Chains A and B, each alone.
Chain A
Amino acid sequence: MKRAAFSLLLAGCLQTTGGQLVTFEAEAVGTPEAASFTTPKGYDVVLSRARLFVGAVYLNQTNPSNYALETSCILPGIYTGEVRGSLTVDALDGSAQPFPVTGNGTDAPTRAAELWLTDGDVNDTRSERVVLEAEGTASKGDAGWPFSAVFTIGSNRKQPPRDPALPGSRPICKERIVTPIPTDLTLGEGGTLRLTIDPRLWFSAVEFSELTPSSSAPARFEFIDDSASAGQPDIALYNGIRAAKGPYAFTWR
């Protein structure tokens, strides 16, 4: 009886289907402190350039905890927000760098986020878009390694299927989407979504001493832009920019 009365009360009061559609601004900021830092492996790094190309941002209402095991890069129904405009973020600049488009979404709680590191079709392997540009010098003791990194994610990053029975198990989109980035926010009309990038965490696992020299006079080293490379620094940096936990954080203002 009480339940029926409560239902009737609800029926009389609520005039909404629940939830709300929202539009919002989006911006990215870098981390000025990353201009000079020490990695967990003991390298002192001075960054003169750290730019990440972000094609789009998507927010998820459920944490795709098994995402790594899923093959689908798009899971219809889990999205709470999107910012479908590209921005090259200067990760050393602490000022707000606005995305060129307005974001759309709902006011459902956001639990995770995705960064799409591509400028076009997420499944098109032909893209040669540079997603990472980094320059600097790493040193440990007396040794130094002036380095540069220019990464793309295209056919150079295509992985063979892990099982011939599962030919669709490792699509290129899995390489391009950084997810799930832990997030806890709720979008609202007129607010601003902020992406903070800390490039220090890109280099956390890099053994700079194993970098491949690109020239000897002056001494220069570079990260190889190919997943075929077995070099530890190449793999570590590539994994670093694709790490869901650490380098990226979303906040709502």
Chain B
Amino acid sequence: MRLYLELAKKSFQNNIVYRADYFASLINAIVLIFVNIAIWKAINEEEGALGGLQLNILITYIVISFLMQTVYQMDEYFIEGKVRTGLISTDLLKPFYFRLFVFSYNVGSMVFKFIMQFIPAMLLSVFLFRLLPPFNTQMLLYFILSAILGYLVLYNINFIVWISSFWFYWTFSLVTIKDAAVMILSGALIPIWFMPTWLIDFIELTPFNAIFYTPILIYLGMMPEDEIFMSIVKQILWIIALFGIGHILWKRATKKLVVQGG
């Protein structure tokens, strides 16, 4: 356990070094939030367009969603890089579980982004966009739990895609297509409740709404309390299922690992 904490700490410190990247992605998040809010405000001007839903709620949705996206950004080419350079063969020999190593690496930078980007941007948003606070303290706690589970859902989806680098030399295309699916179907860019019913029904069958949508609904207090329990159970089930798929793929991948030169 201490070993993995240490690895996460290293990854955290690694992030501090790249200051330009840090400011770039912070500004990026703020600009995107700002632009999206401008668009939603324009939509809101058509009278009653938002169906009585307060603009404030929508703005809060957008802000939380974009901030979560910033924090949930992972190093998509970490495993690919290891496979391509052949470093993975020595990593596999080291006395740790490779998958836990990758996980701690990502958690380290997630914690960094949470402290250094999420919190400042959140405070800024309270002033800039009049962000609504969580519905109540209880919902805040549920939100934190659900957000952590959302991260794990996304992580396990990502892991399945990353593992494909054992079969394909480059994973850029798969990663990008996966990103497109996540961005649209997770409700990250437009709240799922605005989508047509057939699409909502489809999304219900996928793990995508368990990433951002569930935690944000809880934050906003838009999910009835009896549904919260079910949604969280659903998140956990998806984590187990996706982890299972990842596990099987991993077993196969390590069996057929071919390192090209190194």
Answer yes or no: do A and B interact. no
